[in-house]
Structures are given as C-alpha cells and as structure tokens.
Structure 1
C-alpha cells in the first residue's frame, strides 16, 4: 500500500512518542484520518463531541504530563472551534500541536465552501504555523512543529490541504532544490535546566540578607521545586504566597504559607503584600499588579527560567534567569538565618483566616453554601486526587476550600481564564493517568458549554467525577457587575433549572441531583466510589458572594451603589453576607 502524507504524519507522531490524538473528523481531514487508521494500534484517536473540547483535552493532557498534547479538526469551522482551547495552551505555556485540514490546493482563493485560510487565522496563536503544500516537506515540518511546541512550551499548527493529505509521500510535483528528509535520528528535546550564574545568586543573596520583612511569591514555574521553596522560606523566615496556578507548590496546611493572592486569595496574603519590604518571586510574573506591593515599597528578587518575564510587574533589583529548582539550590547556602517575627505574625493571621473559612463550610445552611459543597469534596477526595476547575465563582471556592495535601494537583485556565475547560481537562488528564482520581469542579455555565463531551468519558471508560456547583447563573459576572456599581442584569437563567444528573443517567452512568444540605456528603462519596464516570449536580445558593480576601474602599463603595440603584436580589444577598459574618464570629 502506498504511503500517503496522512500516514507519514501518523508515523512521525508515533516516532515522537505521541500515543493519543483528541479530535473530531470531517471531510477536510479524511486523508489524515486514514493515516491515523493505518496506525491505530499505536496511535489512539479519541473522538470528541466538540472541537473546543478536543483542544482543552490536549491542553489538560500537556499541562498534567509535560508531554506533547495533540488535537485535530477539519477545515473551516472545525479548526475555528479549536482556537479557545489552543489560546489557553499558549497563555499557560503548554506544548500542543494542532492539526487541521484545508481545501484542495486547486480551489484555494476561489471562495470555495468553508475556505478559511487557517495559516493566517493562527498567525497570532502558533509559534510554528504552516500550510503544507508539498509531500516532500514530510516529515521534516512535523519535526519542526513538534520541536517548537516542546522547546517553547507553546502551540504549533500544521494545516494540510485535502489533495496533499492523500498524495504519495514520495511524490514531488515541483522542481525540487534540495533534500527534504530530516536526519534519521530524533533530537532529544529534554531541555537542560538552566542554572543561575554565581553573580546572579550573590546579588540575590545580598538583597535577601537585608530584608526585615521578607515574603515569597511562588507560581507554576516552581511546581517542581517544593522542597527548595520550603527550605529557602525556612532559612529566611519568609511567608509563602501562592498564585492560583501555583497552588500545588506548597501544601495548603504547611505553616509557612498564607495561601493565594488576588480576588481569590486570602486576607493574610494581601496584608503581607502591603507590609513586606522584600519580595522573592519564583516562577511567576503574577499579572494582577494591583495586588502586588507598591514599587517604591519593596526590593525584588525574581527567579524565572524565561528572562523575558522578569520585571514585567515590579522593578527587579536582582534578576535570576534560571530554573527555579537549580537557582534555589544554589541560593540556599548563601543565605543566613532570618528573623522569624514577621513570619510568626502571619502564621497567627493565617490561623484566624483558616478558622473563618472553616466556619463558612456550614452544612446547616439552606440553600446549600458552595463552600460546604467544596469542603465535602475536599474531605472525601484522595490525597493524590487531581482537581480541574472552570473559571468563575467556582474558582474562588476551589482556591480556598480545596487543600493541597499529599500528591494532589490543581489545574485551571490561568491566564486566559476561559470558561468550559474543567470537563475536557479532566478527560485529557484521566486518559494520561488512568489510575488517579480526577475530579472536575465546574459551574453550571461552564459545564453546559461542553457537556456533550461527558459522553466521551463514558464511551472511553474514563472514570472522571464531575461536581457541578449549580447556581443557575453566571455568578462571577453577576458579582463583577455589582462591584462596578451597577445592579445585576441578564446573568441569571430563567426556570427551569438544569438537571445535569439526568444527563449522566441518560449516558448510562451515575448521576445525583442534590438540593438539600444533608444529601451533599453522601452523594459526593457515592460518586467517588462509583467505578465509572459520575456527575453530582448540586443546587447552591446563587446569592453567595465570592468576597475578596480583603475588601477595599472602592469595592465597598461600588457594592453599596449597586444596591442603591436597585439590585434585584438585594435582600437575599444581604442575608447571605450576614449569615457568613455570623458564622465567622461564632468560629
């Protein structure tokens, strides 16, 4: 049988260690699908319900494993649907290869059906972006696309016209000017971790030695450096603040951490940023500058493997362009013992904060408090569970009530902050780790966008658990409107409320609809014990505010203005806020 370009693509993916492609076929990629079919013993095609979900699955797979995620879609609308998930991969530095189809070369430029010039559409997105126009480009361009995705931790894109897909791989329709085949051996793209220079470490140590009120801010770039982060914090006597993507760097109950920062963070972390005189940033360029110290307040040391990310938010006195783990290993011997009084102050504040958060996990409240739902899930989940999350109020509840312990991990859309990745992330990660407990904690809005792909989990026997925090509204947008000083508008769905548990049962698996507080914990435990995919759809209080860790004057002012202008659910909202405060005072 003649080897076609689609087959050459499949073989080269296998050579690179790829074993899975997430996607949805179409007539624009029939030649590629034939190539995948010919090698289906080594390359699995996971058929999805929506191309956006395929891109999110590939992204979740790449985030959790560090390996290349691959997704495929047909020409025109199929390829357009990939974009949201692929931008998530780009902004969160996940290596993903997108493969799309294109109309035959003979009709390009003739306003043919579904003719979208995808190489132009993907120009801002992909680090390597090419329309393949000659079979002789294979498999060299596949190598280049994968090299770029893996080394730059970003997205690459290859689009194949239909006639090229089915062309014999040795065919050369043009006058050929040089060898098109790459070397027989594949390069080793396991990039060596970049060490810090002695001068960089010495300067950083000098700045940290002068600190009287040191703090550490860690992000996703420090996930592999937990022991080193803790050792440096111990030596300096510095509290550790975590970004949300970096939540798993340090266990949440470790005495050195004050938790997260920002709208979803803790009060102690925000107080700490306002009081510290020296900040050590590790593996993060935290984008929300208003939550960071004032530039004239602190001296800053920043460690990042990507030197272009150093100094984006604050002036950096001691930049360290290096791998976080290696840099901290080199820095530790240069540091003396710091005064621990500043740390002790914030350890006390953190104990009070934890007490307040625990008080909000009140199982007696009806409607159900979302904090209680997350608390029950947190208590019942395994110590090595992986939690995926959507954007919205659910991210607040996960940030504050999902505790990192043991080998737990936590993934969400960090910089893009898009809705809908929670479910497909879970599918992609469960595919990569079939023996781990993988849970998607999602809102009703985000789940509804791609809920059809729950059926993908059922069909592939992926035992993901989905917990829906159902407030029948776009809760985060609701509160953003109020914080701007306007009454909410067009953010709550009309009745009837969705019953996503019925969808699970329609798919032939476990589904539980929870409306009473006493049923939350049993339903969670039954779902986690179920051997296959499961959904727990829990109706929660739609008027529960995702309060920031520290309320600032402008926020309080706008909140009041929204009520004065006619907030439609003000009495229920005020009752909820009051109940929260009563619980905190009782704790």
Structure 2
C-alpha cells in the first residue's frame, strides 16, 4: 500500500516523538484520519466530543510535559472551535501544533460549503501558518511547523486540502524541485538553555546588594528552578511572591514565600510590593502592573529567557537574558548572605496572620458549604504528587489560596487567556501523560457544563481523573465583578433546579455523588480519590461567598456599597456571609 500524504504526516509526527493526537474526525480530514489509522500502533488518537476540548487537551499536555501538544479538527466549524484552546497555548507560551482540514484545491474560492480559510483565521494565533498544496512539501513543512512551535513555545498550524491529504506522498503534480530538507536531528526543541552573560550577572548582583528591602517575583518560567530560587531568596533575605501560573515554583508552606499577587493573591504580597526598594523578577512578565511597585519606587532586575518580555511592565535596571535556573545558579556566588533580615521577618509575621485567616474561612460548620472548606478538603486528602487543574472564575481564588503546593504537587490553569472550561480537558490530557499520578480537576458548574461531555471521554479511555465541581449555580466571578463596578447583579445566576452533575457521572458509568451538607464533604472527596476509575463530586457551595481581594481598596469598597444601595437582589445573604467571614477571621 503506497503512502499517502496523511500517512506521511502521521509518520513524521511519530519521528518527532509525538505519541498522542487529540481531536474529532470529520469529512474534511478523512485522509488525515486514514494516515493516523495506519500509524495507530505508534500514534494514539484520543477522540473527544468537542474540538475546543481537543485544543485544551493539547495545551494541557504541553503544559504538563513540556513536549509538543497536537490537536486536529475538520474544516470550517471544527477549525473554528479549536481557537479558544489555541489562544490559551499562545498566551501561556506552550508548544502546540494544530492540524486542520480544507476543501479540495479545485473548489477553493468558489464559496464552497464550509469554506473557511483557516490560514487567514489563524494568522494571529499561529507563528507558523501554512496550507499544504503539494505532497512534495512533506515532510519539510511539518519539521518547520514543529520546530517553530517548540523553539518559540507557541502555536503552529498546518491545513491540508482534502485532495492533498489522499494524494500519494511521492506525487509531484507540478514537477517542481523539492524544497530543501531541514536538518534531520529530531531532538526535542525548547527555549534554548541560554547561559547568562557574566557582565549582566555582575550588574544584577550590584543592584541586588544595594537594596535594603529586596523582594522576588517568580513565574512559571522558573519552574524547575525551585532549589535555586530558594537559595537566592535566602541569601538576599527576600520574600518570594509567586504569580498564579508560577504557584508550583516553591512550596506554599515555605517560610520564604508570601504567596500570590494580584486579585487572587495575598495581602502580605501586596503590602511588600508597596514597600520594597528592589525587585528581582524571574521567569515572569506579570501583566497586572497596578500590583507592582510604583514607578521609581524600586530598582528592578529581571531574568527571562525571552528578551522581548524583559522590561514590559517596569523599567529594568539590570536585565539578564538567560535560562532561570542557570542564571540563578551563577548569580548565587555573587550574593553574600544579607545580615539584615528585618524586612523578611516583617513579611513572615504578616504571612503567618494571613494563613491563620485563610484557615478560619475553611469552616466545616458553615451552611451553605463554604467553597474554601471544599478546597481545603481536597487539599487535605490529595497526594503529595497530585496535579490540580483549575478553571477560571471564583474557583481560581479558592485554589490559589487553599491548594497547598508541597512535595511534587503541581497546579495548572489558563493563565493569561483566563478562559472558562479548560480544567476538565487539561485533567484528561495530564492523566494520559502521567497515568500513575493523581489528577484532580477543580471546576465551576459554569465551566464544567460547557464541556461536560468530555467526562465521558475520560470514562471511555479509562483515565481515572477526579472532578470536583464547585457548584454555586451561577457565574460567580462575573457576579462579583458586576458588584465591584457598582452595579446590582444581573443575569449571572441560573434558575432552579440546580444541576446534579453527580447523576451525569453515574450515567456515564462512573462514580458520581451530589453533596449538599458540609459533613459529607470529606468522605465524598476521599471516596472519589480512592475510586479506581473516573470520579466526580458535585458540591453545592454558598453562592454568596465573595472572592475578596487580598487588600480591599477604597474604590472597590465604594463601588461595593453603591451596588447594595442600588438594590442588590441577594443583599441579606451576601452581607450575612461577609459578616460570618469576618467573625471567623477575628476568632483565628
């Protein structure tokens, strides 16, 4: 049987070390699917229920493994559905290859059914973006697409017309000279492990030693450099602030960290940013400038492997373009241990008080169930190497503050895109990549409902993910954003009855339970984690629990009050919840 272009593509993916493709078949990719079938012993195809989930799975796979994620969709609507997940990959800097179908070349431009020119559609999201029109372009363009995705940590896209997919790979319809082949080394690419320039390190050390109140802000670019981050922070007597995607860089219970920064962060982190005179940024271009030191307040050292990200938010006095781990390791000998630890000690006292306040909010006696308590039960029961995936929304607040990074735990969410619904697809992809680890998806009812059919995907592929639905029967984050803007809530709560997602899990042939009282939460979580297959806990939580910022600013408080004066529909329940929160904090 002669090789067709679809098989040539599949074989080249295998040669690059790709072992999984996430996608949904369609008549626009039948030739590609035949290629995948011919390589099925080496290339697993994970059938999903929605193309958006396929893109999220490819992104989650890439985030967790550092390897190339691959997704495939048919022409027209299928290709359009991939976009949300692909933007997640682009904005969080992970390598994903998207493969789509296209109508036969003979009908292009004739307003044919489902004729969507995906190269134009994808021109913003994909760094390498090509329609393959000649079998002789294979495998060079596959190599270039993959090299671009891996080396630039971004999205690449190839689209194949139907007639090209099934053409013989050896066919040369135009008798053109074949393109030159790229080098044949198939070693997995990544951002180059750039060694630091000694002159840049010397300048960085000079700036850091001159500071009196030094703080570190670390992001996901410092993943894998935990020991080096802690050693430099210890030498500088510097508290460590973590971005949300960088939560896993250092343990949450370590005495040097003050947790996250921003709307979902901690008050101690926000306070130290207001007071520091020197800031060391490692592996992050933190996008929320209002939470960073005021202009002129602090000298800044920034370490990043991507020079285009240095100086995006603050003027940088000492840029270091290098791999975070190498840079910190070589910076450390230039930093004598700082004897004055007073700034660090002040931050540590504040953090101890903050941890006590957060523990007080996870109160099992509260009714309705406090979402903080639900997250704390997951935290208590999960393994020390568990992976937690999370959707965007109020659940991101609860996981940021009550999911404790310890041991080899990891944490993943949609960072810069902050889209709804990736938690479940991420978990499926990560469980596929790490079959021996506990993978937990902590999702809201809104995000889960968007792609809930993918729970059935987990069941069918025998992937033992655990899903915990934080069910407030509303779009909680939007509710509070409306209030903070000074508006009474509108169109953010679902009508009764509340969904029973536990029943959906049981209908899929798996473990599912609905929890409505706090006493049942710990047992339900433990039972789900112990179940050998996929399991789901749907927990009704207090819909009036506000995801309060670490420090409430004057404008936020003012608008919050204005919203209530204008007639907040659930004013009494919300005020009662806030009052109970404050009582618990005072008792702590």
Please indicate, yes or no, whether the TM-score normalized by the shorter chain is above 0.5: yes
State yes or no: 1:205 paired with 2:205. Answer: yes
SS of the residue 2:354 aligns to: helix
Checking the alignment, whether the CA contact within 8 Å between 1:252 and 1:405 is kept in structure 2 is yes
Paired residue secondary structure (2:451): helix
CA distance in 2, matches of 1:296, 1:93: 30
Closer/same/farther in 2, CA of residues 477 and 188 from structure 1, 3 Å limit: closer
* Aligned residue runs from structure 1 range 113-128, under 5 A: 113-128=113-128
Q: Is 1:475 the equivalent of 2:479?
A: no
- Paired residues in the alignment total 587
Which moved further from structure 2: 186-195 or 160-169? Answer: 186-195
Residue 5 of structure 2 is matched in structure 1 by 5
8 Å CA contact retained: 2:152, 2:191: no
CA contact (8 A) 2:137 2:178 kept: no
CA distance in 2, matches of 1:40, 1:14: 10
Q: Is the 8 A contact 2:474 2:494 kept in 1?
A: yes
Take 1:83 and 1:178, find their aligned partners in 2: how far apart are those partners? 32
- State the TM-score, normalized to the length of structure 2: 0.99
CA distance in structure 2 between the aligned counterparts of 1:423 and 1:71, rounded to whole angstroms:
16
Residues 25-55 of structure 1 deviation map (CA, whole Å, 9 limit, x = unaligned): 0000000000000110000100000000000
Displacement after TM superposition at 1:179 (Å): 4.5
In structure 1, distance between residues paired with 2:320 and 2:486: 42
In the TM superposition, what whole-angstrom CA distance separates every residue of 1:236-285 from its partner, at most 9, and x where no partner exists?
Answer: 10100000000011100000000000010001000000011110000001
Report the counterpart of residue 443 of structure 1 in structure 2.
444
Distance 1:381 1:178 in 2: 54
**1:504 and 2:523 correspond:** no
Write the distance in 1 (CA, Å) between the matches of 2:179 and 2:519. 70
- How has the CA–CA distance of structure 1 residues 504 and 218 changed in structure 2, closer, same or farther, with 3 Å as cutoff? same
SS at match of 1:97: strand
Determine the structure 2 residue equivalent to 1:29: 29
Q: In structure 1, what is the equivalent of residue 144 of structure 2?
A: 144
Q: Does 1:255 align with 2:271?
A: no
Alpha-carbon distance in 2 for matches of 1:227, 1:516: 42
Secondary structure of the corresponding residue to residue 126 of structure 2: coil
Contact in 2 for aligned 1:137/1:180 (Cα 8 Å): no
Q: Does 2:21 match 1:53?
A: no
Aligned residue in 2 for 1:573: 574
Q: Distance in 1 between matches of 2:228 and 2:116?
A: 49
Give 3-state SS (helix, strand or coil) of 1:224's partner. Answer: coil
Q: Which residue of 2 aligns with 1:585?
A: 586
**Cα displacement (A) at 1:2:** 1.2
Give the Cα–Cα distance (whole angstroms) in 2 for the partners of residues 268 and 430 of structure 1: 35
1:431 corresponding residue in structure 2: 432
Equivalent residues in 2 for 1:338-357 (5 A)?
A: 338=338, 339-357=340-358
Inter-CA distance 181–211: structure 2 relative to 1 (3 Å threshold): closer
Deviation at 1:190, TM superposition (A): 5.2
Partner residue, 1:292: 292
1:52 match: secondary structure: helix
- 1:531 matches 2:538: no
CA displacement 1:355-403 (0-9 Å, x = unmatched): 0000000000010000000000000000000000000000000000000
Asked if 1 retains the 8 angstrom alpha-carbon contact of 2:303 and 2:321, the reply is: yes
Helix, strand or coil at the partner of 2:11: helix
**Please, which runs of 5 or more residues in structure 1 have no aligned partner?**
none
8 Å CA contact 2:137–2:179 kept in 1: the answer is no
Distance 1:89 1:508, change over 3 A: same
Residues 153 and 190 of structure 2 are in contact (CA less than 8 Å); yes or no, is this contact kept in structure 1?
no
Aligned to 1:127, the other structure's residue is in SS state strand
Aligned residue in 2 for 1:414: 415
Distance 1:245 1:183 in 2: 34
- Partner Cα distance (1:530, 1:514) in 2: 17
- Return closer, same or farther for 1:326/1:182 CA change in 2, 3 Å cut-off: closer
Point out the more displaced range, 178-187 or 356-365.
Answer: 178-187
Distance (Å, rounded) in 2 between the aligned partners of 1:541 and 1:191? 44
Describe the superposition over 1:304-327 as per-residue Cα deviations: whole angstroms up to 9, x where unpaired. 110110111111101111111111
- CA deviations over 1:525-580 (Å, ceiling 9, x no partner): 00000000000000000000000000000000000000011111111000000000
CA distance in 2, matches of 1:577, 1:218: 32
Structure 2 residue 43 is matched with structure 1 residue 43? yes
CA contact 2:32–2:165 (8 Å) conserved in 1: yes
Aligned with 1:296: secondary structure?
A: coil
CA deviations over 1:181-228 (Å, ceiling 9, x no partner): 555553563554111111101111111111111110000000111000
Quote the Cα distance in structure 2 between the aligned partners of 1:518 and 1:200. Answer: 56
- CA contact 1:280–1:301 (8 Å) conserved in 2: yes
Alpha-carbon separation, structure 2, partners of 1:344 and 1:71 = 48
Deviation at 1:175, TM superposition (A): 3.1
Q: Which residue of 1 aligns with 2:110?
A: 110
> What corresponds to 2:310 in structure 1?
310
Whole-Å Cα distance in 2 between the matches of residues 185 and 389 of structure 1? 37
Unaligned residue ranges in structure 2 (runs of 5+) = none
SS in structure 2 at match of 1:439: strand
Q: Give how far 1:178 is off.
A: 4.2
Deviation at 1:180, TM superposition (A): 5.3
Q: CA deviation at 1:336?
A: 1.9
Matched residue SS, 2:224: helix
The residue number in structure 2 matching 1:514 is 515
- What are the within-5 Å matches in structure 2 for residues 221-240 of structure 1? 221-240=221-240
Could you say what secondary structure the match of 1:72 adopts?
strand
Q: Which residue of 1 aligns with 2:552?
A: 551
**Quick one: distance in 1 between partners of 2:183 and 2:229?**
41
Residue 328 of structure 2 corresponds to 328
Runs ≥4 in structure 1, deviation > 6 angstroms?
none
Q: Which residue of 2 aligns with 1:564?
A: 565
Structure 2: how far apart are the matches of 1:453 and 1:147? 30
Three-state SS of the structure 2 residue aligned to 1:32 is helix
Aligned to 2:283: 283
The 1:183/1:260 distance shift into structure 2, 3 A limit, reads closer
Give 1:169's aligned residue.
169
Contact kept? 2:153, 2:191, Cα under 8 Å: no
Corresponding residue for residue 374 of structure 2: 373
Is the partner of 1:584 in helix, strand or coil? helix
Q: Give how far 1:337 is off.
A: 2.0
CA contact (8 A) 1:92 1:414 kept: yes
C-alpha displacement of 1:154: 0.4
Distance 1:374 1:46 in 2: 30
The 5-angstrom pairing of residues 445-464 of structure 1 reads 445-464=446-465
